[in-house]
Chains A and B, each alone.
Chain A
Amino acid sequence: MDMSHTALNMAANDALKRRLKRRKRLDLVMRALSFAAAVFSLVILAIVLYRVVVQSIGWLNVAFLTGKLSMFPEKAGISGVILGSLLLMVIVIPVTLILGVATAVYLEEYSRRNALRSVVQTAIANLAGVPSVIFGLLGLTVFSRFFGLGSSILAGGLTLSLLVLPLVVVSSSEAIKAVPQFLRDASYALGATKWTTTWRVVLPTAMPGILTGNILALSRAIGETAPLVVLGIPALILRSPKSLLDDFTALPVQIYYWTLDTVLTPEYAHLAAATIIVLLVMMFVLNGAAIVIRRKFARRY
C-alpha cells in the first residue's frame, strides 16, 4: 500500500512538473512576444524621427525660427506660426484650468453622490474620447458662426479648450479624490467651512496632480490639427497675429498644409519636417515639466 502510494505520488509529481514546464515555456513565449511588440513600436518611432530629422537638416535654423511665412521655401520662417501656437495656449491654459478645476471641485466636493452625478461623470469621461473633428464642428457652430469669432485665435483657443476640458476635469477629479479624507477632517475639526477647506487644504494638496493633468492636456491641445482645420484657418497667412481676434495659423496646421502642398513644391516637405521638430520639442518640454512637477511634489502623506 505504501508502495502504490509513492508510485501515485511520483505520477502526480511528474504531472506537476510537466505542467510547470509548460507554464514556464508559455511565460517565455509571452515575454518574447511583448518584448517584440515594444521593440516594433520603438523602431517605427525611430524611423519616423530619423526621417523627420534628416529632412529638416539644413532647414531648421535661426532664420527659419525667426522669419515670416513665405511662398518661397528658402525664405519661409515660422515665427508667426510659433506665436499662433503660443497665443492658443494663452487662451487654453486659463480657460481649462478655471472651468476644469471648478467642475472637478463641484463634482468631487459639492455634488451629492447620486445617479445624476454618475451620469455626468460618465458623460465627461466619454467626451474625452470623442474625435477631435467633432469638437471642431462644435467650435465652428458656436464660436466662429454664432459668436462671430470667425477663424480667430480666440475661436481656435476656445475650441481647443472644449476639446481638452474633459481630460482636465477627469485628471483634476482624480487629483482631488486622492486628497485623503483625514486632511479634510482636520480642517473641519478646526471650525473651517467647506469652502475654506476646499480652497486652503484640498486644492493646494491636489495642485501638483491638477497641474500635471493640465500640462498633459495642453500638450495634446497644441498638437491638434483637425479642429483648427475645420474652423477654416486660411492655408497661407503671411502676417503674424497682432491680437487674439486676428486670424492665425498654428504649428500642426502649418505642418498639415505644407505636407499637402509638397505635390506642388517638393521643398515644402523640408519645411514641414523642421516644423515637426519644433512641435516635438514643445511637447517634450511640456511633458518634461509635468514629470518634474510630479517628482518634486511626490505625495508624502
Chain B
Amino acid sequence: MAEKEQNNQIITENLSLHYGTLQALKQVNLAIPARQITALIGPSGCGKSTFLKTLNRMNDLIEGVRVSGKVLIDGEDIYDPAVDVPLLRKKIGMVFQKPNPFPMSIYDNIAYGPRIHGTRGRRELDEIVIRSLKDAALWPEVKDRLKDNAFDLSGGQQQRLCIARALAVEPEILLLDESTSALDPASTLKIEDLMTQLKERYTIVMVTHNMQQAARISDWTAFFMLGEVIEYNRTGQLFNQPREQQTEAYLTGRFG
C-alpha cells in the first residue's frame, strides 16, 4: 500500500527522564503524526503519563526531574532554554485523568485561557466560549446555564468542559491522560466520538488503560513497558499482528 508521506508533528529522540534516581523513560524514539490519534498503552507505572508530560513540559513542575534527549515539535526542540514554556503549553492542550474544572462558572472556566493570553473583549470571549463548547459537544447541555458553577455538571460533562477549556486557547496538539477512566460508559463513548471528530483539526496523543478504546479510535499505538517503547505501529497491525512477543503477551493477557 503506497502510503502518503507522514507529517510527523512530534518527534522524540533518545528521550530519557529521571525522577531523582528512578529512570522513568529510557531512550524513547517516537514519531507522532499530525492530525491522527496516537494511543499510548502499557501496564501502569510504565511511564505513559511521564512521557505525555514531557511533551508539554508539565514535568518542569516536579522537583528533581531530569530530561535528556530531544523532543521536537514542528521541528523545534522544546527543551531548548530559549523556549517560552507558557507559550508552548498554549500550543499543546492537556486533559487530565480526573476532571479538574476551576471552581468558577462554566463560562469563566472556558474564558480562563483566552483571558490569561490577553483576550479581553466581551463579544470575542462569548464567541470563543460558544465555539469551544460546541467543539466539545457540550453546548446543547449547558447553553442555558453558562453562569452556573462548573461543579454542578456531571463527571462526564465536567470532562468535556475541560476539553472545551483546552480547545479555547486554540492548541494544535491535544494530550489526554486516561481522560475517560473516571467516567461512565456513555460519557466515555461521547468523548471517543468527540476525539474522532477533533482529529481532523488536532494532533491527539492519548494514554489509555482501556485497550478496546485504543483499538476503537486510535490510528497509531505505542506499547510501553518499564519506560521503554516495546512496539509502535499502526493500531490495526499492532493489535492483530504484534511484532514483539511482549506486546502479544500483554494484549492477550488483557483480552483473555
Contacts and interface: CB of A to CB of B under 8 A. Distances in A.
B93 A200 contact: no
Interface stretch (B12-20, B112-120, B238-246): B112-120
A190 B100 contact: no
Given A182-B98, A196-B116, A200-B112, A189 B103 contact: no
Interface stretch (B37-45, B133-141, B162-170, B188-196): B162-170
Given A189-B94, A204-B104, 13 more contacts: A182-B96, A187-B102, A188-B58, A189-B166, A190-B89, A190-B116, A191-B88, A191-B91, A191-B117, A192-B116, A196-B116, A204-B103, A301-B103
B48 interface: no
Interface string B104-116: 1000000011001
Nearest to A113: B63
A191 B151 contact: no
Interface residues of A, number: 20
B151 A190 contact: no
Nearest to A112: B63
Interface in B60-76: 61, 63
Interface of B: 56, 58, 61, 63, 86-91, 93-94, 96, 98, 100-104, 112-113, 116-117, 149, 151, 162, 165-166, 169
Contacts of A52: none
Contacts of B104: 204
A88 to B, nearest CB: 34
A195 B113 CA distance: 14
A191 B87 contact: yes
Contacts of B169: 190-191
Interface string A71-96: 00000000000000000000000000
A48 interface: no
B102 A185 contact: no
B61 A188 contact: yes
A113 B63 CA distance: 10
18 contacts: A182-B96, A184-B61, A185-B96, A185-B100, A186-B96, A186-B100, A186-B102, A186-B165, A187-B116, A189-B89, A190-B93, A190-B112, A191-B86, A191-B91, A192-B116, A200-B116, A204-B104, A205-B102
A190 B90 contact: yes
Tell me which of B98, B116, B162 has the highest count of chain A C-beta atoms within 10 A of its own C-beta. Answer: B116
Contacts of A182: 96, 98, 100
B58 A185 contact: yes
A300 interface: yes
A193 interface: yes
Contacts of B117: 191
B89 A205 contact: no
A186 B179 CA distance: 13
A183 B165 contact: no
B67 to A, nearest CB: 17
Given A182-B100, A183-B102, A185-B58, A300 B151 contact: yes
B104 to A, nearest CB: 8
B102 A191 contact: no
A55 to B, nearest CB: 48
B151 A189 contact: no
Nearest to A191: B90
A292 to B, nearest CB: 18
A205 B116 contact: no
A192 B61 contact: no
A231 to B, nearest CB: 43
Contact of B56 (A113, A189, A204): A189
A220 to B, nearest CB: 29
A201 interface: yes
B156 to A, nearest CB: 17
A183 B90 contact: no
